[in-house]
Structure 1
Amino acid sequence: MEENQGSIKAPPDVVLSDTFTLVPSDGLLLPLQLTQTELLLQVHPCGRSGPSSSRFLLADCIGCHCFKGKNQSDPGGYFTVVFYTLAEGKGSTIYRQRISKTFRAGGSQDRDQNMDTARTWTQKIKQLAKPQGQTSVLPSSPRLLVLLNPYGGTGEALHLFQKHVTPMLMEADINFTLLVTEGPNQARELVRDEDLSRWDLIVVMAGDGLMFEVINGLMERPDWMDAIKKPLAILPGGSGNALAASINHYIGHQQVMGTKLLVNCAFVLCKGQPYPLDLVSLTTSSEKRLFSFLSLAWGFISDVDIESEKYRFMGSVRFSVGTFVRLTALRTYRGRLSYVKASTSTETISDSNRPTLDNSHSELQPNVAGKELDDSLLSPLDQPVPSHWTVVPEDQFALVLAVYLSHLGADMFTAPMVKSLGEGSIHLFYATSRISRGSLLKLFLSMEKGTHLETEIPHLTHVPVTAFRIEPLHNTGIMTVDGECIPCGPIQGQIHRGLASVISIPSIT
């Protein structure tokens, strides 16, 4: 919202113009204009001190409703417009905050005529507030399936959803079905087996683990190629919240946490459209196939992630506590690491949003997730990597991390070079045992603001890749995919650009 001195000058693209009473107010009639992009209100008549006009961006508007007055003798017609504008809050943080304006149309003594005026403005505001400049693939009132993990993070996800998200969805005229999960893999089995045509959008209110379940459930379906295009949305309800933080960053919002991040993401849910989301196809030595949207970690980061579970009640602070605990007894792991640099496989990346079909093994592997999706850059795990791969000499590793989003957590700005969804690169970080504890501490303290790559950290390497292989020599240590623990062992992965679909909005910067 912007406030300006002086009366409103009629812009060239005025759609509607009239005078209304602002409710509540002193009863003065105020000029109101609707353009293609803004609602312009003259707050004070000329001659009074203070700001005389306010501008509300329709890009910030999530809903508009018209209604009759409570008093039967009141002939007025009313409409309320709800905005979530970027404003500065406590601690100088900028995040989405609710502003609503109610207007009374009373130009006639006939209530029906006044209601017609209110309806005309309501319908036009709702029409112009829809995402512009792109073809919507979602209906105007989409049907949402909301999967909520009540145990994630501090265990307040259900309360937070009811307090912050439900009112916003109601204001945006969005219908939803809420399913509170009761245990592991319930969401995975549901999206794998159910008729997905009942919903236009699947929303996950949890940490990143539940989104991992949903994506892999979709990829296990016989119709996975269609199912994985079902738009997904994230609402932060866990302790990590990497996907939510990454989308928040790509849009241009300030890095925030807690309910501020939740409200930002709920706004995106109300206003967004599907954007491509990269997935990494992972294959283990047992030939199990997994699909990852966030990261694969082995060593220090996965040790901290899993071993800090005991501090889950602390929320995201658990990772800071876990970092200091693990630094006191740093572990290293012997293994081999290989990868394909991103610059050497540009053609493969650009074409990977059109999945290659390979039906030759489909009858032999009926239960393999995404069985027809060809990992063209990978050779079988029991064979050497192709000759064009880069092979890191066998060594003791303190950490290996493959990450494909900007954030690894709400306050872990791990890959600041990632500017948008669907870039088609894996960012591989690895550190050998020669890295000092001081350097590791510096790495994680500076990661909150994404400044860890601005100064050289000895024995830490970063390289953009499109495929990788990790081979622990003793199958020891903790290995995680999207924050979920998996058996430690040889594993390899390849990125598939834009394979999935997630709700976002255009960058505001």
Structure 2
Amino acid sequence: MTTMQKMKDMTEQAPLFDAAQCRVELHETRYSGHASRLVREDRDIDSWDAIVCCSGDGLPYEVINGIAQRDDAGNILRNVPVVQLPGDSGNAMCVNMFKTTSFSHAALYTLKGIRQPMDLMLVTQGDKRYFSFLSQNIGLLAECDLDTESLRFLGGKRFAVGFLQRLFKPPVYGCDLAVYNSTSQHSTDPHSDRLGSDINGENRHGLPGLQLGSLNDSLPDSWKREHHPTLGVFCAGQFPFVDAKSKVFPHARPDDGLVDIIIVDSGIGTWRLLQWLKRVPEGNHLAMREVHHRKVSAYRVVPVSTRGAFSIDGERSSFQPFQVEVHPQLGMTLVTPPGVEER
């Protein structure tokens, strides 16, 4: 699947796929949600070796959530790899899986890649559910992404522009945060014994049910609660890179059943915030005392305000309370063969 601007790049790589004797079915997406519709209605989807998105990170997000609406969703998500050829300003999936932003290298690794299970993060918000493969953001990073859509012609530089616009007056977000880590509990969480109608089972789509309830359920004592009145950065994710240049979670793994969370207070100060920006590409910002990092199995965010920026995998979502839980190895992708260095 590809967007119009990447059709030419994909056509140029056709000889590579022909040489590998691959049958390629090319679909050009024409509107938001088109990719979700295509995979939702594809009767032969389980016959494909991979679903290749020539795009930014928005198209893999659409594909995964479109599959999730199928009756055989669980089987397809676990068995049909979703991969990305770089086509926009983010390209995080490609960088994390294929270690490159080169379209031709990524095309080669799509052919030679090794199957890799990956966790999916289930985001619940009101009566809606979304599967996230990359990250959830509120605050500074979300604004730098969502509020620079008009600057897409700058490529990845638009994120830096958004950051510099907010450097001297970073956004302030108040919220209540609750986190849960199953690896730190010595007994079964009572939360999973009594909350939600589809707990501990699979729903009609073959997807795992909610294991930790929803926003409508009260939190048990096994969750740790915190209040952050002046939150500046909140970023949660499961891959090291959240875009092609930002190694926000250097220790993240896509299949460990955990989501990494980073929090930075808005009172960090201009100089230290700039230092944070300079350190993120190399992933050594976690050493800063102002950066708070943890790994959890689930979390809940309840914003104090009703206005703000919240993104799921780079896509704008309603700014309201949300809860996230990890579903281990529910997804499938491809990674580079052993020995391949970053290119």
Aligned to 2:280: 447
Match of 1:275 in 2: 116
Structure 1, residues 396-437: CA drift from partner, whole Å, max 9, x if none?
A: 21111101111011111111112x541222110112232222
User: Post-superposition shift, 1:324?
Assistant: 0.5
CA contact (8 A) 1:341 1:390 kept: no
Q: What are the superposed Cα offsets for residues 195-238 of structure 1, whole Å, 9 maximum, x if unpaired?
A: 11453321111011000000000111111111212222211111
C-alpha separation in 2, matches of 1:271 and 1:231:
13
Distance in 1 between residues matched to 2:273 and 2:155, nearest whole Å: 22
Distance in 1, Cα, partners of 2:338 & 2:114: 12
Q: Supply the AA of the counterpart residue of 2:85.
A: L
Q: Structure 1 residue 372: deviation in Å? A: 4.8
2:329 aligns with 498
SS at match of 2:127: coil
**Conserved in 1, the CA contact under 8 Å of 2:75 and 2:206?**
no
Report what 2:142 is aligned to. 302
For the pair 1:318 / 2:158, whether they are aligned, the reply is: yes
Partner of 2:175: 335
Larger radius of gyration: 1
1:464 and 2:312 are equivalent in the alignment: no
Deviations 1:262-301 (A, max 9, x none): 22221211112321011001100x2200000000000000
CA contact (8 A) 2:83 2:93 kept: no
Aligned pairs for 1:106-145 within 5 A? none
Structure 1 CA distance for aligned equivalents of residues 41 and 21 of structure 2: 28
Say which SS state the counterpart of residue 183 (structure 1) adopts.
Answer: coil
Question: Secondary structure of the residue that 1:434 maps to in structure 2?
Answer: helix
Q: Secondary structure at the match of 2:159?
A: helix
Structure 1 residue identity aligned to 2:209? D
Q: TM-score, normalised by structure 2?
A: 0.89
Look up the match of 1:402. 236
**How far is the alpha carbon of 1:394 from its aligned partner?**
4.2
Q: State the Cα RMSD in Å.
A: 2.2
Aligned to 1:181: 29
Q: Structure 1: how far apart are the matches of 2:160 and 2:97?
A: 22
Separation of aligned partners in 1, 2:85 and 2:232: 32
| Counterpart contact for 2:124–2:214, Cα < 8 Å | no
Go from structure 1 to structure 2 and tell me whether the alpha carbon gap of 1:397 and 1:409 turns closer, same or farther (over 3 Å shift).
Answer: same
From 66, 84, 102, the equivalent of 1:217 is 66
- Equivalent position of 1:85 in the other structure: none
Q: Deviations over 1:416-472 (max 9, x none)?
A: 112x5412221101122322222222112211122212x3242x2100111010100
Superposed CA offset, 1:56-93 (max 9, x none): xxxxxxxxxxxxxxxxxxxxxxxxxxxxxxxxxxxxxx
Q: Distance in 2 between matches of 1:461 and 1:371?
A: 36
TM-score, normalisation: structure 1: 0.61
Letter of the 2:299 partner, please give it. Answer: F
| Offset at residue 194 of structure 1 (A) | 1.7
1:371 to partner: Cα distance: 7.5
CA contact (8 A) 2:116 2:332 kept: yes
Structure 1 residue 341: deviation in Å? 3.2
Would the alpha carbon gap of residues 268 and 452 (structure 1) be closer, same or farther in structure 2, given more than 3 Å must change? same
Partner of 1:484: 315
Structure number with higher strand proportion: 1
Q: CA deviation at 1:356?
A: 7.4
Aligned residue in 2 for 1:91: none
Structure 2 stretches lacking a partner, 5+ long = 189-197
